[in-house]
Amino acid sequence: MTEKEPTRCQWAGRIRGARGRGSFTVLDARKTLRRFGCLACSVVGLLVASGGSTARGAEDDFHQLVHYVEAESVGQGDGDRALIRVGDHIFFDESRVGPQLAGLYLVAINQSRVLHQFHYHTLTAPGASEGLARDVENLPNGTLVVVVAKDNAVRRFDERGQQALISIGAKQGLLHQNRRASYLCIGMKGLAPGKAIEKVGLGQQRFVGKSAGRHLELIFPRMVEPSLSREPGLHEDLTIGHTKALYYIPKYFEPKTAEYLVAIHGAGEWHRPGALNRIAQFRHIADIENLVIIAPSFEGLLNRPVNRKIHMDDNGRFIDRRIIKDWHLMGFQRLLNKNNHHRSDLKLIEIFEFFRKNLMNRERFHLYGHSGGGQFVHRFATFYPELIDKIAFSAAGTFTFPRRDKDYPWGIRMANLDEWFGQQIEADDLKLSESQMTERLNRLLDLQVFVIVGQEDTAVSGPRRLDEVGWQGRNHIERARNYFTAMRREHERQKAIGNRPRDDPFRFEIHELPGVGHDSEAGADKAIELLFPQEPKNKGKVLAIDFQGLTPRDSSGKKNRIESKNAPTLKGGHAIFSGRDKQYLRVDLSEESDLLGCTAMTIRVKVRTRPSQGRHRFARILQTSDNKAHGTCLMVHERRVAGWIQTTSPTKTKVGDKHRKGRSPEVKSGAAVDDGKWHDVTLTYTGKTVELYIDGRLHDQADWTGRLINFDSINIGYVKSNGFHYDGDMDEIQIYGRCLPPQ
């Protein structure tokens, strides 16, 4: 029997296996796969085999692969564009104008994998050229490398970067070229100098391979745009424009009503640990208030100015803070970085626009920052008040006062940016006139702004800082007070000259925290209280019964009526239900408590049941129907808490020997509760799941969807059709038309 001819897929598999054994050469790949006329398989063979190529083999591979490359470079003043396409995938196509987009763009592909895709800011970042060199040095021989320049890529390009280009086959390189030069290089690691395709000069420089743009099924894993997850919890894998952004989706995320909170880390916390701290401080209120937290990590602004492995510990903190010479790594607080011009304000706007496009379209966001983050927050709000809903910041070290005789960042005189930063600043959008800054200040004064500072935050700044901003105050609390006073005077000034109504209220508030120093936890707690003042327990409340007085009382404000013909005994601020005496409560709900059509619900109650002695079979804690088989229910059955939700879902759940339409599966506690102790019981319905919590811990959950059925009464301690009276104590009976975390 003759052996069957291998299929294309089998050939591809053989190539990979042979490559792993080192027995399959580039020539073998060409000979065997060319017979199929399959472009995709041929390129895969070349890329897979290229990892172990000889110098001659690498050159052969290069001439084959370069046909699938399209690259374009347009330098400063001639169009400012960078394009890299391999096959039909576009890695970079950047034509926006701005100094933060200038520099070198690089893509490296080897063995069917994209090894590197990065933008090096060689216009102004001191370590960018070194970073490029290090990355190219670490590439294996046979790696296809495409490099293009955009805008001015020459200013910070150095000898190490030049040697990196030579190592991929370049001859001219970029060193000492005209600052407006366009440059592209398509090479391969290990090529001899001069063998790469290299174009340099003024005006557009472009290369288009004869197969550029053709679809390549298997050439490499397709690179995709950053994507957002809607799954509740912390997400750390998002990078937008080379800036990492951590974000948190609330547990009961509802896109139609959710809002954004942007939380900025401090200068001393540094990137990821600081962003994680901000999310940890706000995640609880995010779950309650349906907030999406965005915590940018401004690590991307450093662009490798120092060797982090040498100078940073495992937590991302500098081992020797003297490395931060002239504060050049801390520039994000001032929106502009003094040494490399990175724009943290534009980074945040780019991140917010990405979330608006891909998650929820909102016009504004809440904003909070601590310490260096507080500096950034109030300066960002000064220039972009139209993006802010409410703002709070704590322990800011310096401020931008509304003084027209002081240069930015300490005042609002923007004409001398170049002089203050010691070099030409390409930020025309910030070089505003006095009248333009006055307009921005007036829009800032329209916002609710909370200035937070600890009364013990009194450490006196060093001589250098006092030389710069000593006029603002000697320490954090003095500067916060003086800034607040200056903004109040500016508000009065604007009213006096007719720019604001005479009766316009001053919306700034200052909050000094007794006994608190430079404490981010205390600052965040106060910010939560101020930014979200409405007590979460009152939002969406349908029923709230307590037993503090002589009779049961509903504090929900919904005009519900409590019937208490055979009411439980009230003692010690709670209710004592006697199952033997058939004590109960019935609540007739008002129209204001309508839950019809809601897709979420929370029931909370504190219970203390005595040892059962056979009395706790189906004993009702609460039920929203007179029929034992219908309505939403919480009960004690065989010593455990159980419950379900009633919805309009057509799905049926088997209960005993019957099927109940719209009734969710039963959820049960994993342990007995009749131990004579108080237990917090929470039953939640998220619109997707039914969850039962005991003392804050999840015991059981079941998948279920559908809208809640409406009910006009609630039975507490029994169900009318069968009794099933509860025997034990209860307190704090609460029902909400939304999801809340467990108590």
Question: What gap in Å lies between CA 716 and CA 624, rounded to an integer?
Answer: 9
In terms of domains, do 136 and 54 share one?
no
The answer as to whether 226 is a domain residue is no
DSSP state of 182: E
CA distances (Å), origin 122, targets 15, 150, 157, 181, 470:
40, 10, 6, 13, 35
The answer as to whether 469 is a domain residue is yes
Residue 638 CA to chain centroid, in angstroms? 45
Q: What is the pTM of this model?
A: 0.51
CATH number at residue 608: 2.60.120.200
The answer as to whether 213 is a domain residue is no
303 and 128 Cβ atoms separated by less than 8 Å: yes
DSSP state of 263: E
In terms of domains, do 117 and 170 share one?
yes
In terms of domains, do 498 and 575 share one?
no
Predicted confidence (pLDDT) at residue 454 exceeds the cutoff of 80: yes
Predicted confidence (pLDDT) at residue 574 exceeds the cutoff of 80: yes
In terms of domains, do 57 and 79 share one?
no
The answer as to whether 271 is a domain residue is yes
pLDDT in tens, 542-559: 888 888 778 888 888 888
How high is the pLDDT of residue 406?
93
Final residue before a domain boundary, out of 166, 191, 208: 208
638 and 619 Cβ atoms separated by less than 8 Å: no
In terms of domains, do 370 and 383 share one?
yes
Helix (H) or strand (E) holding 537: none
* Nearest alpha carbon to residue 71 among 226, 224, 216, 204: 204
pLDDT in tens, 467-511: 888 999 999 999 999 999 999 999 999 999 999 999 999 999 999
Give the structural domain span for 725.
537-736
In terms of domains, do 277 and 179 share one?
no
The answer as to whether 225 is a domain residue is no
In terms of domains, do 492 and 549 share one?
no
How high is the pLDDT of residue 8?
41
What angle (nearest 5°) sits at the alpha carbon of residue 384, between those of residues 261 and 257? 30
* Nearest alpha carbon to residue 522 among 513, 534, 533, 531: 513
Residue 348 or residue 320, greater confidence: 348
Question: What gap in Å lies between CA 731 and CA 719, rounded to an integer?
Answer: 19
CATH number at residue 357: 3.40.50.1820
pLDDT in tens, 387-414: 999 999 999 999 999 999 999 989 999 9
In terms of domains, do 388 and 487 share one?
yes
Final residue before a domain boundary, out of 208, 241, 267: 208
How high is the pLDDT of residue 612?
59
What percent of the chain stands above pLDDT 90? 37
The answer as to whether 222 is a domain residue is no
Which residues, other chains included, contact 213 with Cβ-Cβ below 8 Å and sequence gap of 6+? 70, 85, 87, 88
In terms of domains, do 556 and 512 share one?
no
In terms of domains, do 495 and 348 share one?
yes
Determine the residue type at 458. Answer: T
In terms of domains, do 457 and 313 share one?
yes
Helix (H) or strand (E) holding 503: none
Residue 590 or residue 16, greater confidence: 590
What is the domain count for the chain? 4
Question: What gap in Å lies between CA 553 and CA 572, rounded to an integer?
Answer: 15
In terms of domains, do 150 and 267 share one?
no
Which residues, other chains included, contact 528 with Cβ-Cβ below 8 Å and sequence gap of 6+? 281, 282, 285
How high is the pLDDT of residue 506?
97
The answer as to whether 562 is a domain residue is yes
How high is the pLDDT of residue 125?
78
Whether the link from the prior residue into 409 is cis, omega within 30° of 0, is yes
Final residue before a domain boundary, out of 44, 64, 84: 64
The answer as to whether 3 is a domain residue is no
What angle (nearest 5°) sits at the alpha carbon of residue 172, between those of residues 166 and 174? 85
DSSP state of 132: H
**Residue given tokens 């920052």 in the structure block:** 369
Which residues, other chains included, contact 543 with Cβ-Cβ below 8 Å and sequence gap of 6+? 554, 556, 558, 560, 587, 589, 593, 714, 733, 734, 735
Question: What gap in Å lies between CA 371 and CA 376, rounded to an integer?
Answer: 9
Average pLDDT over residues 646-653: 78
